[in-house]
Structure 1
Amino acid sequence: IRRFVFKYAQRLDLFLGTLINVGITASGKKVILAATHMRIVGSIVSLKGWILEPSVIQKVLDWPVPTDLTDVRGFLGTAGGCQQP
Protein backbone atom coordinates (compact mmCIF):
# COMPACT_ATOMS: atom_id res chain seq x y z
CA ILE A 1 0.00 0.00 0.00
CA ARG A 2 2.87 2.39 0.69
CA ARG A 3 4.08 2.03 -2.88
CA PHE A 4 0.58 2.79 -4.15
CA VAL A 5 0.33 5.90 -1.98
CA PHE A 6 3.77 7.07 -3.14
CA LYS A 7 2.84 6.58 -6.82
CA TYR A 8 -0.45 8.39 -6.24
CA ALA A 9 1.36 11.31 -4.60
CA GLN A 10 3.81 11.49 -7.53
CA ARG A 11 1.02 11.56 -10.10
CA LEU A 12 -0.95 14.08 -8.07
CA ASP A 13 2.12 16.33 -7.86
CA LEU A 14 2.58 16.08 -11.64
CA PHE A 15 -1.10 16.83 -12.24
CA LEU A 16 -1.19 19.82 -9.89
CA GLY A 17 2.04 21.13 -11.42
CA THR A 18 0.44 20.94 -14.85
CA LEU A 19 -2.58 22.89 -13.59
CA ILE A 20 -0.31 25.61 -12.24
CA ASN A 21 1.75 25.77 -15.45
CA VAL A 22 -1.31 26.33 -17.64
CA GLY A 23 -2.93 28.76 -15.21
CA ILE A 24 -5.91 26.69 -14.11
CA THR A 25 -7.26 27.24 -10.61
CA ALA A 26 -9.36 24.82 -8.58
CA SER A 27 -11.62 25.25 -5.58
CA GLY A 28 -10.38 23.36 -2.54
CA LYS A 29 -13.98 22.65 -1.53
CA LYS A 30 -14.74 20.99 -4.87
CA VAL A 31 -11.55 18.97 -5.43
CA ILE A 32 -11.79 15.26 -4.62
CA LEU A 33 -8.36 13.67 -4.52
CA ALA A 34 -9.17 10.06 -3.66
CA ALA A 35 -12.56 8.43 -4.07
CA THR A 36 -14.00 5.05 -5.02
CA HIS A 37 -16.60 6.74 -7.24
CA MET A 38 -17.73 10.19 -8.35
CA ARG A 39 -21.00 11.75 -9.47
CA ILE A 40 -20.51 13.65 -12.71
CA VAL A 41 -23.47 15.29 -14.47
CA GLY A 42 -26.07 12.62 -13.75
CA SER A 43 -23.61 9.73 -13.94
CA ILE A 44 -21.72 7.67 -11.40
CA VAL A 45 -18.18 6.84 -12.51
CA SER A 46 -16.00 4.28 -10.73
CA LEU A 47 -13.25 1.81 -11.48
CA LYS A 48 -15.98 -0.68 -12.37
CA GLY A 49 -17.36 1.59 -15.09
CA TRP A 50 -20.03 4.17 -15.81
CA ILE A 51 -23.71 4.06 -14.83
CA LEU A 52 -26.55 6.56 -14.84
CA GLU A 53 -27.87 7.90 -11.57
CA PRO A 54 -31.23 6.28 -10.79
CA SER A 55 -32.91 9.71 -10.59
CA VAL A 56 -31.98 10.42 -14.23
CA ILE A 57 -33.34 7.07 -15.38
CA GLN A 58 -36.58 7.68 -13.50
CA LYS A 59 -36.90 11.16 -15.00
CA VAL A 60 -36.72 9.71 -18.54
CA LEU A 61 -39.15 6.89 -17.71
CA ASP A 62 -41.67 9.31 -16.17
CA TRP A 63 -41.43 11.85 -19.00
CA PRO A 64 -44.89 12.71 -20.36
CA VAL A 65 -45.66 12.05 -24.02
CA PRO A 66 -44.44 15.10 -26.00
CA THR A 67 -47.22 17.14 -27.59
CA ASP A 68 -45.16 19.71 -29.51
CA LEU A 69 -41.66 20.38 -30.82
CA THR A 70 -40.53 22.08 -27.61
CA ASP A 71 -41.52 19.00 -25.58
CA VAL A 72 -39.68 16.72 -28.02
CA ARG A 73 -36.54 18.86 -27.78
CA GLY A 74 -36.72 18.79 -23.98
CA PHE A 75 -37.02 15.02 -23.95
CA LEU A 76 -34.20 14.54 -26.47
CA GLY A 77 -31.96 16.84 -24.43
CA THR A 78 -32.57 14.83 -21.28
CA ALA A 79 -32.41 11.42 -22.95
CA GLY A 80 -29.34 12.43 -24.98
CA GLY A 81 -27.48 13.04 -21.75
CA CYS A 82 -28.01 9.37 -20.93
CA GLN A 83 -25.63 8.21 -23.66
CA GLN A 84 -22.45 6.61 -22.45
CA PRO A 85 -19.39 8.81 -23.09
Structure 2
Amino acid sequence: MSCSEDPTCQELLDHIYELVDADEDAIDERSRALLAAHAAVCPSCRDAVDAERHVRELLRRCCGESVHAPAALRVRVVSMTTRVRRTE
Protein backbone atom coordinates (compact mmCIF):
# COMPACT_ATOMS: atom_id res chain seq x y z
CA MET A 1 0.00 0.00 0.00
CA SER A 2 1.18 3.46 -0.80
CA CYS A 3 -0.59 6.66 0.15
CA SER A 4 -0.55 10.16 -1.25
CA GLU A 5 1.99 12.74 -0.12
CA ASP A 6 -0.70 14.53 1.89
CA PRO A 7 -3.11 11.79 3.07
CA THR A 8 -6.73 12.66 3.74
CA CYS A 9 -8.77 11.59 6.75
CA GLN A 10 -10.55 9.04 4.58
CA GLU A 11 -7.24 7.62 3.39
CA LEU A 12 -6.08 7.22 6.99
CA LEU A 13 -9.35 5.52 7.97
CA ASP A 14 -9.10 3.22 4.94
CA HIS A 15 -5.67 2.08 6.16
CA ILE A 16 -6.00 2.41 9.93
CA TYR A 17 -5.54 -1.32 10.52
CA GLU A 18 -2.30 -1.44 8.56
CA LEU A 19 -1.08 1.62 10.46
CA VAL A 20 -1.98 0.24 13.88
CA ASP A 21 -0.74 -3.26 13.05
CA ALA A 22 2.53 -1.86 11.70
CA ASP A 23 2.29 -4.67 9.13
CA GLU A 24 5.34 -4.17 6.91
CA ASP A 25 3.82 -6.41 4.24
CA ALA A 26 0.66 -4.28 4.03
CA ILE A 27 2.06 -0.74 4.25
CA ASP A 28 5.41 0.69 3.29
CA GLU A 29 7.49 2.76 5.72
CA ARG A 30 6.94 6.03 3.83
CA SER A 31 3.14 5.62 3.84
CA ARG A 32 3.15 4.67 7.52
CA ALA A 33 5.14 7.84 8.32
CA LEU A 34 2.79 10.03 6.24
CA LEU A 35 -0.32 8.56 7.87
CA ALA A 36 1.19 8.88 11.35
CA ALA A 37 2.11 12.51 10.62
CA HIS A 38 -1.47 13.18 9.52
CA ALA A 39 -2.83 11.59 12.71
CA ALA A 40 -0.46 13.73 14.77
CA VAL A 41 -2.07 16.95 13.51
CA CYS A 42 -5.67 15.80 12.93
CA PRO A 43 -7.64 15.38 16.18
CA SER A 44 -10.33 13.13 14.69
CA CYS A 45 -7.82 10.79 13.06
CA ARG A 46 -5.70 10.74 16.21
CA ASP A 47 -8.82 9.77 18.17
CA ALA A 48 -9.59 7.00 15.67
CA VAL A 49 -6.04 5.59 15.90
CA ASP A 50 -6.08 5.84 19.70
CA ALA A 51 -9.48 4.09 19.85
CA GLU A 52 -8.27 1.27 17.61
CA ARG A 53 -5.16 0.80 19.73
CA HIS A 54 -7.30 0.82 22.89
CA VAL A 55 -9.64 -1.86 21.50
CA ARG A 56 -6.67 -4.03 20.58
CA GLU A 57 -5.19 -3.62 24.05
CA LEU A 58 -8.51 -4.60 25.64
CA LEU A 59 -8.73 -7.67 23.43
CA ARG A 60 -5.17 -8.65 24.34
CA ARG A 61 -5.94 -8.34 28.04
CA CYS A 62 -9.25 -10.20 27.80
CA CYS A 63 -8.17 -12.94 25.44
CA GLY A 64 -4.54 -13.24 26.36
CA GLU A 65 -1.70 -13.16 23.92
CA SER A 66 -1.74 -16.94 23.54
CA VAL A 67 -5.10 -16.95 21.70
CA HIS A 68 -4.67 -16.84 17.93
CA ALA A 69 -7.10 -17.31 15.09
CA PRO A 70 -6.52 -20.45 13.02
CA ALA A 71 -4.24 -19.85 10.03
CA ALA A 72 -7.02 -20.82 7.60
CA LEU A 73 -9.30 -18.14 9.07
CA ARG A 74 -6.58 -15.50 8.75
CA VAL A 75 -6.05 -16.43 5.09
CA ARG A 76 -9.80 -16.18 4.40
CA VAL A 77 -10.12 -12.79 6.11
CA VAL A 78 -7.09 -11.34 4.32
CA SER A 79 -8.37 -12.70 1.02
CA MET A 80 -11.84 -11.21 1.57
CA THR A 81 -10.55 -7.79 2.60
CA THR A 82 -8.19 -7.70 -0.37
CA ARG A 83 -11.08 -8.53 -2.69
CA VAL A 84 -13.27 -5.83 -1.13
CA ARG A 85 -10.55 -3.19 -1.49
CA ARG A 86 -10.02 -4.03 -5.16
CA THR A 87 -13.72 -3.48 -5.92
CA GLU A 88 -13.95 -0.10 -4.18
Q: TM-score range by the shorter chain?
A: under 0.3
TM-score (norm 2): 0.26
The structure with the largest strand share of the pair is 1
